[in-house]
Every structure is written in C-alpha cells, then in structure tokens.
Amino acid sequence: MNASIITYVKVIGKSMFRGMGKMKKIFFVSTENGCNNNCIGCADNNLNKPKKGRDMNKIFKDLELGAEKGYKNLHLAGGEVTIQDNIFDILQKANELYDEIYITSNGRIFSYRSFAKKIVDSGVTQFNITLCGPNQKIHEAWTRTPGSFKQTIKGIKNLRSLTNNICVNYLIWRKSLYKVKNTLLLLKKLGIKHIDFFNLAPLGRGKTYYNQLYAPLKDLLKLEKQVSLFDSFSDIEIEDFPLCVFSDVFMNKSNIHVFDTSGRIYKDEKGNIETYSLFAAKEFNFCINSNLTVQKDIKKMENKFKTYKIKIKECNNCLKKDSCGGIFSDYIKLVGECQIKKEITHLREKQNY
C-alpha cells in the first residue's frame, strides 16, 4: 500500500441534504512506518510492529507520480507519519509539487513544541489529529498506550498556538459515544473549530475486536443530541453513520457535512476514480500501489464494497436511502437482523418519520 487516492479531505457539495458532502480529489501517500500507539481498533493490523518505513526515494517517486497525474492536494499518513525518518525531507519535496499538504497523526510528537513549530513552518496545510475519548481513561483504553492522552492534548495545544488549521478526528466507539459532550467542551476550551466524528469501521483490528468496540445503532442518536448543544464549531463532519440516526433539521445545518467514506467508490462524470476507502480496499486484499492498479480492479472492488455495507428490507421505506451507505454488514451479523429491525423502528419513532 504505497500511493492512491483516498477520501480524507472533504468540501461542501450539493445533494439531498445541505450537509451531504462532496469529496475533494487528493493524492494519498503512505510512509508505511510503525506507530507509537497500539490502538485496539486500528484499521491496520500491523502498525504496532516495529517498522522503519519506506525508502525515501520510493516515497519521492510516489509524490512525483501524483503530481504528474495532475493532483494538487496531498495527504500523508503512516503508520504515524510524524515519526517517519526524513519526514522534513519528504515535506520539502511535497511542497515543491503540491499546493496543499494534509497530515493525519495521533498528535503525540507535537507535545514537543520545537517539533510542532518546525512542522508547521514546513508548509503543512492541515493537521488531522485523532482523539478517542475526552479523558485519559477512555482515550487510553483505545490507544493502550500510557501517557498518550496527555501528549495528544498537549500536542493539540501546541499546534493551536501556531496555526488554526487543525481538525480533530473523534472516533465514535462504545466508550466514547456517551462522552461527546465532554469532548466538545474540551475542544471548545482548546479553541478547536473543526471536528470530524467518524463511526468505528470493522477493519483491521477494528474487525477483530468489533464485538467489544461497536456502539449500538439505537444509541447513535446520542451523537446528534450532544452535538446540537454547541454552536461554536464552524465545521462538523459526520462520517460513515447510517443516516437514519440523524434528523433532517440536523443534517441541514450549515456547519454539518455528512459523508459515507468507507463503503463507496466515488467517480467523476467520465468514470474515473476520484476517491475510495483505502482501508476497506486493503481489507479486501486489493493491490493499491497506484491509481492504474485500482482502475484495473475497479469492478471487483465495487462488488466487494457492496458487501461491506448493506441495506436491509426496512431501509427501502427510508427517505434517506439513496444518500445513505447503509449499515456495516459485520454489525448486522453480530446483533442479528431482527434486532436491527427493532433499532430502526426505534430510530424512526425518535426522528418522527
């Protein structure tokens, strides 16, 4: 898994609801190094294994490949990209080729202010920092790394003192869902304006431990209820949730943008791939070293993606069915279709449709 296009960065678009998002075409490059966390639900099964990372010259070739294909936006991820050897050489090369550079990180290394300043000065356009709970107990139940919460929060503080271009990726899983209000209070205090809530996907270790980690469908209503208490966030992204858990009023708010990222492949009017889920593709053992390889496998990949999220019979009567990606098939297998029907009935009663 070296380079590909991925659905990490979004821009507002038009759809059934004002808040339905349109993907922004970017080029993704993985450093394929290890990680200094050991997350129980990481989408990659192997990140806790020591890895030096890819050869810098190979990364450079990927960067050049994207630029040759006309991409102006780049997303770097790992492993934990910030601990990659020669990260600043990579960023220097990226700045020569791309207009915008995005980094996804657990934020821990930014707790060292000198490093935070150096990487901000290197030309990174946006930092996407992952948070898995509002306190040490919940966050570290996910990361399984003592001290990681304190470092991530300090890292966010340091970045925030240097730049406004920060998005906090907040994972919704069993322990974090019920503490969204606490998280938003924390992020408001930190001065964060952009937050991305993403639903736990059954990928990698997240699939292995899904029965311990998933948040019940009927309880996802709590997300809207808690988010609606705040009006200080200018940009709130909602990823990979069945749309039946949200009201039309909520989805039509100007600062709410809803996306289905892990179970779809987005193409332009000519049929060319613009975005797809990197980790979902990897889960299905597709070779995604370049966009050319993906084009070759597109039909097979699309068929596999159709099994990743599905819609049951009750979904046919939903007004949002055409915009919704459906429900994770692993969730349906785990709790049973009978229970899903009850949960959907409960959701419709609460949402009055």
215-268: pLDDT as tens digits:
999 999 999 999 999 988 999 999 899 999 999 999 999 999 988 776 666 665
The secondary structure element, H or E, covering residue 27 is strand 27-30
Minimal CA–CA distance to 82: which of 142, 152, 139? 152
Residue 336 confidence (pLDDT): 92
Q: Which residue has the higher pLDDT, 120 or 68?
A: 120
Query: How many other C-beta atoms can be found within 10 angstroms of the C-beta atom of residue 262?
Result: 26
Q: What is the mean pLDDT of residues 6-33?
A: 52
Residue 287 confidence (pLDDT): 45
The tokens 């980094």 sit on which residue? Answer: 103
- With cut-offs at 50, 70 and 90, classify the pLDDT of residue 347: confident
d(CA 31, CA 54): 6
Query: How many other C-beta atoms can be found within 10 angstroms of the C-beta atom of residue 128?
Result: 20
Q: What is the mean pLDDT of residues 137-149?
A: 98
Q: Would you give the distance in Å from CA 332 to the centre of its chain?
A: 22
Q: Which residue has the higher pLDDT, 47 or 89?
A: 89
Q: Is it the case that residue 271 has pLDDT exceeding 50?
A: yes
The tokens 């009850």 sit on which residue? Answer: 342
The secondary structure element, H or E, covering residue 95 is helix 87-97
Residue 17 confidence (pLDDT): 37
Query: How many other C-beta atoms can be found within 10 angstroms of the C-beta atom of residue 352?
Result: 7
pLDDT tens digits, one per residue of 155-200: 999 999 999 999 999 999 999 999 999 999 999 999 999 999 999 9
Record the pTM: 0.86
d(CA 269, CA 334): 37
For the chain, percent of residues with pLDDT exceeding 70 = 80
Mean pLDDT of the chain: 84
Residue 190 confidence (pLDDT): 97
Burial of residue 42 (CB within 10 Å: 0-12, 13-18, 19+) is: buried
Q: What is the mean pLDDT of residues 125-136?
A: 97
Residue 23 confidence (pLDDT): 52
Q: What is the mean pLDDT of residues 90-109?
A: 96
d(CA 253, CA 255): 6
Residue 304 confidence (pLDDT): 73
- Residue 258: helix, strand or coil by DSSP? strand
Residue 13 confidence (pLDDT): 31
Cis amide leading into 123 (omega within 30) = no
Domain-wise residue ranges, the chain: 3-309
Q: Which residue has the higher pLDDT, 63 or 349?
A: 63
**Range of lowest pLDDT (131-145, 294-308, 337-351):** 294-308
Residue 114 bridge partners (DSSP): none
Residue 71 confidence (pLDDT): 83
The secondary structure element, H or E, covering residue 209 is none
Q: Is it the case that residue 141 has pLDDT exceeding 80?
A: yes
Work out the widest C-alpha separation in the chain, in whole angstroms: 57
Q: What is the CATH number of domain 3-309?
A: 3.20.20.70
Strands 27-30 and 3-4: antiparallel
Residue 1 confidence (pLDDT): 40
Contact 280, 201 (CB under 8 A): yes
**Range of lowest pLDDT (22-31, 243-252, 275-284):** 275-284
d(CA 128, CA 166): 6
- With cut-offs at 50, 70 and 90, classify the pLDDT of residue 325: confident
Q: What is the mean pLDDT of residues 138-143?
A: 98
